[in-house]
Amino acid sequence: MKDQKKQNWLTQLQDQGYRITDPMKVIVDILSKSDHLLNPTEVYFQAKNINPKIGLVTVYRTIEKMEQSGLIDRVHMPDGCQSFFQSSDGHQHLLICTHCGRAEYFEGEDLNQFFQKIGERFGYHVRDHWLQLFGLCAKCKKIELES
């Protein structure tokens, strides 16, 4: 079940030496269960619903820790780069709904060799790549048709 992931995350964070406070638990809960991209303000409002004491600054600081621990990644989109999403296990790439922010990972073919060759052609040493697909998810396709 989904709480499994939350527990994993908390354990990992604790192993890294971070303290497990209530704001931490709330924010981990939100981000580990979300199937949509979330920006700090969105996390903040969801968190406030659960514990009204939580401040936006704590959200920023907790997100930073989770990012550095490799639990979440910042996701870049044409219209903004403040959103975060659970990071993938292996080498996967993102398919994102530009309307609602829903996201899915898909298996990345192993394009690495191809990328390496392109780099060589220009004298570059390729170290990383980004591949993302943008579109409309099933729900948002419908909404678009109706409007």
CB nearer to DNA: pick between 49 and 112: 49
* 3-class secondary structure, 72: strand
- Asked if residues 11 and 70 have their Cβ atoms less than 8 Å apart, the reply is no
C-alpha distances (whole Å) from 53 to each of 3, 5, 41, 56, 58 are: 23, 25, 15, 10, 10
CB nearer to a second copy: pick between 38 and 103: 103
> For a second copy, which residue of 51, 128, 143, 146 counts as binding (CB under 8 A)?
128
* 3-class secondary structure, 142: helix
Sign of CA dihedral 88, 89, 93, 97: negative
Q: Print the binding letters for residues 38-77 with a second copy: x by CB under 8 A, - otherwise.
A: --------------------------------------x-
Q: Print the binding letters for residues 70-99 with DNA: x by CB under 7 A, - otherwise.
A: ------------x-----------------
Chain residues that interact with DNA, rule: CB under 7 A: 14, 17-24, 39-41, 51, 53-58, 60-62, 64-65, 82
Chain residues that interact with a second copy, rule: CB under 8 A: 76, 78, 81, 95, 97-98, 104, 106, 109, 114-115, 118-119, 121-138, 141
